[in-house]
């Protein structure tokens, strides 16, 4: 493995930063301490910063020393934590009750800081590297908010790159593939309005729970009967709320859930069919239904040239056998907004087999969003080396006329 020696030397420093961030998790748009730490480090390394895009976002700009080119590349990390309790008991466990870096964004932030430090110290490129520290990936679409606040007008880039750790993929292995890799994320809500009454006299009422149970079944036929079989999609009803007592038929029943898909066509079809099923199922039983379909994150779709480029850099660092393909997964990611705005790519860096984890917290790779998860510090020099080399190589090679 060709980790950059200057970055390998910084491994203890990077580990300390990562554990400090882990101990002080902050939720989306509340990353005040986190963004303060990022701003301090960048400033300390002689990198001019811009704060306030997406409230707590930080952008640092590193200018190369090999010329006066205005070509630019963006490197992005997410910085927010999750609203959940940490089960780990190690020294760097969360000191903020009910908040936890259970998705490894503490590690993503640190890998980008490591790259920023290296690039600022060496500046072996001609052009600009914008390091983008983005808030609120988990909730709130911080990536979209930064773009709305003018991210790519203030900091135009030819391409933008990001990555996420992935438990289960071996340490030292990275998965990257072109095309759709993460799904779009939509929330829906169906409020069924019937007519309340005595549970012993259902003929005088319109039972919204009976309507809801039909509707839930009918929603799944959209996946089994309307969706093209080779187009992946999920409809999950995840909450049902109705009623207060065993002997009262309630007035309303509310269903909420999520829809995941990779293409806009499939999502449009699902929205139309769910609306029809909601309206006509309710009507068939004499009830009404208010149906809302709220699109949150679009699908994350990697661009072909940028993905091939990232893979080439990964092969240089890791060797071909450690650069693998990534099958699409149904989770969502707000880096998708950045990839809709400019070309780029997003890859998955293996978080390993779980052997780095705290003793007594289970065996094997702990998944993200689990209270026993911890980012694998062994990845820090690797991720920082990848981002650094990516920037150097990108700015060194002329941009092809057709991408
Ligand atoms: Zn997450
Ligand atoms: Zn995440």
Q: How far apart are CA 139 and CA 146, in angstroms?
A: 14
Ligand lying closest to the C-alpha of residue 109 = 2
CA 44 to ligand 1 center in whole angstroms: 30
Closest CA to 261 of 191, 336, 169, 324: 336
Indicate whether 254 pLDDT > 80: yes
Q: How far is the CA of 63 from the centre of ligand 1 (A)?
A: 32
Residue-wise pLDDT tens digits, 212-221: 999 999 999 9
Q: How far apart are CA 290 and CA 252, in angstroms?
A: 11
pLDDT at residue 271 above 80? yes
Q: Rounded to the nearest whole angstrom, what is the distance from the C-alpha of residue 373 to the centroid of ligand 2?
A: 12
Which ligand is the nearest neighbour of the Cα of 139?
1
Mean pLDDT of 304-313: 98
With a threshold of 0.75, does the pTM exceed it? Answer: yes
Residues in the chain: 403
- pLDDT value of position 1: 81
Confidence of residue 346 (pLDDT cuts 50, 70, 90): very high
Mapped to the 3 state alphabet, what secondary structure does 330-393 carry? CCCCCHHHHHHHCCEEEEEEEEECCCCCCCCCCCCCCCCCCCCCCCCCCHHHHHHHHHHHHHHH
Ligand 2 centre from 109 Cα, in Å? 11
d(CA 39, CA 121): 17
Give pLDDT tens digits for 122-144: 999 999 999 999 999 999 999 99
Residue 304 CA neighbour count, 13 Å, CB half = 3
d(CA 278, CA 159): 42
Q: pLDDT tens, 146-195?
A: 999 999 999 999 999 999 999 999 999 999 999 999 999 999 999 999 99
Domains and CATH numbers, the chain: 5-181+299-396 (3.40.630.10), 185-297 (3.30.70.360)
- How many Å lie between the centroid of ligand 1 and the Cα of residue 373? 11
Ligand 1 mean position, distance from CA 46 (Å): 31
Ligand at minimal distance from the CA of 106 is 2
pLDDT value at residue 357: 80
The confidence band for 3, taking pLDDT boundaries of 50, 70 and 90, is very high
Which band of pLDDT confidence, cut at 50, 70 and 90, is reported for residue 364?
confident
Query: Which tens digit of pLDDT belongs to each residue from 45-100?
Result: 999 999 999 999 999 999 999 999 999 999 999 999 999 999 999 999 999 999 99
Residue 191 Cα distances to 219, 274, 286, 381, angstroms: 14, 13, 14, 50
Residue 355 pLDDT: 85
Q: What is the pLDDT of residue 308?
A: 98
Q: What per-residue confidence (pLDDT) applies to 358?
A: 73
| Mean of pLDDT over the chain | 96
Q: What is the pLDDT of residues 20-36, one digit of tens each?
A: 999 999 999 999 999 99
Instruction: Give the Å distance between the CA of 103 and the centre of ligand 1.
Output: 4
Any idea what the Cα angle at residue 147 is, between residues 142 and 152, rounded to 5°? 135
The alpha carbon of 280 and the centre of ligand 2 are apart by a number of angstroms equal to: 38
Is residue 135 within 8 Å of 147, Cβ to Cβ? no
pLDDT tens digits, 273-292: 999 999 999 999 999 999 99
Q: Quick check: 363 pLDDT over 80?
A: no
| Rounded Cα gap, residues 264 and 295, in angstroms | 11
Angle at 280 between CA 278 and CA 284, to 5 degrees: 120
**How, if at all, do strands 252-261 and 300-302 pair?**
unpaired
Distance 3 CA to ligand 1 centre (A): 27
């Amino acid at each position: 493995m060709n980790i950059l020696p200057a970055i390998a030397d910084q491994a203890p420093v990077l580990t300390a930063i990562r554990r400090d961030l882990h101990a002080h998790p902050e939720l989306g748009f509340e990353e005040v301490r986190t963004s303060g730490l990022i701003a301090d480090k960048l400033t300390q390394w002689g990198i001019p910063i811009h704060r306030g895009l997406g409230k707590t976002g930080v952008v640092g700009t590193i200018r190369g020393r090999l010329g006066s080119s205005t070509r630019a590349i963006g490197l992005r990390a997410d910085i927010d934590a999750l609203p959940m309790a940490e089960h780990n008991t190690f020294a760097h466990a969360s000191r903020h009750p009910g908040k936890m870096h259970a998705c490894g964004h503490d590690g993503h932030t640190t890998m980008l800081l490591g790259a920023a430090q290296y690039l600022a110290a060496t500046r072996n490129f001609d052009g600009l590297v914008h390091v983008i520290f983005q808030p609120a990936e988990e909730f709130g679409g911080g990536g979209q908010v930064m773009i709305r606040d003018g991210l790519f007008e203030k900091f135009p880039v030819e391409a933008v790159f990001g990555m996420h750790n992935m438990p289960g993929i071996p340490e030292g292995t990275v998965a990257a593939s072109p095309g759709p890799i993460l799904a779009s994320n939509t929330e829906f809500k169906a409020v069924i309005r019937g007519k309340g009454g005595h549970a012993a006299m259902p003929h005088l009422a319109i039972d919204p729970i009976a309507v809801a149970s039909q509707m839930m079944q009918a929603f799944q036929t959209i996946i089994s009967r309307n969706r093209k079989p080779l187009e992946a999609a999920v409809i999950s009803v995840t909450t049902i709320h109705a009623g207060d007592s065993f002997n009262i038929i309630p007035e309303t029943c509310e269903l909420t859930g999520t829809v995941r898909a990779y293409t806009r066509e499939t999502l449009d079809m699902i929205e139309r069919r769910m609306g029809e099923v909601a309206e006509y199922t309710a009507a068939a039983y004499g009830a009404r239904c208010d149906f809302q379909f709220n699109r949150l994150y679009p699908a994350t779709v990697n661009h072909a040239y940028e993905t091939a480029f990232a893979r080439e850099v990964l092969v240089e660092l890791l060797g071909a056998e450690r650069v693998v393909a990534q099958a699409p997964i149904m989770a969502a990611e707000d880096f998708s907004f950045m990839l809709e705005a400019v070309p780029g790519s997003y890859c998955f860096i293996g978080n390993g087999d779980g052997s780095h984890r705290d003793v007594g917290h289970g065996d094997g790779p702990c998944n993200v969003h689990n209270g026993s998860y911890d980012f694998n510090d062994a990845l820090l020099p690797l991720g920082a080396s990848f981002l650094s080399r990516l920037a150097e190589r990108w700015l060194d090679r002329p941009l092809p006329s057709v991408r």
